[in-house]
Structure 1
Amino acid sequence: MHADVHHLLHAVEAAELHSKAGEFRLPRAGLRTRVGWTLVEVGLRLTAQGRDTAAPRTAAFHPA
């Protein structure tokens, strides 16, 4: 397929998806749900930071 035709088809499909997305709305989450997901995000960020600075866990090697 020619690159220009591929780009045109992609643009048409993207426009269709954008118009359908405008019709779809998620229900508003309650405060409890939003706070819960925020805590999950904070926890994931903290564990990701801990992995960067933690010493690698390796078995101790003692030559015989």
Structure 2
Amino acid sequence: MHPETHLALHHTRTAELRAEADAHRLAAQARSPRALRTRVGWTLVEVGLRLASPAPATP
């Protein structure tokens, strides 16, 4: 393969990989608020269940 052709293919693949990494990074950033919202929601459920359960009897 001619060196210039190989270099052109390398640059094309590099651009594709960078675009894929950017897309993955943006997707991860978009998921973060949902994950935080889910953790906060389950924490509130746990607190609510602790408040709703009867207090243990102290001797």
TM-score range, shorter chain: 0.3 to 0.5
TM-score (norm 1): 0.40
Larger radius of gyration: 2
Normalised by the size of structure 2, how large is the TM-score?
A: 0.43
Which of the pair is proportionally richer in helix? 2
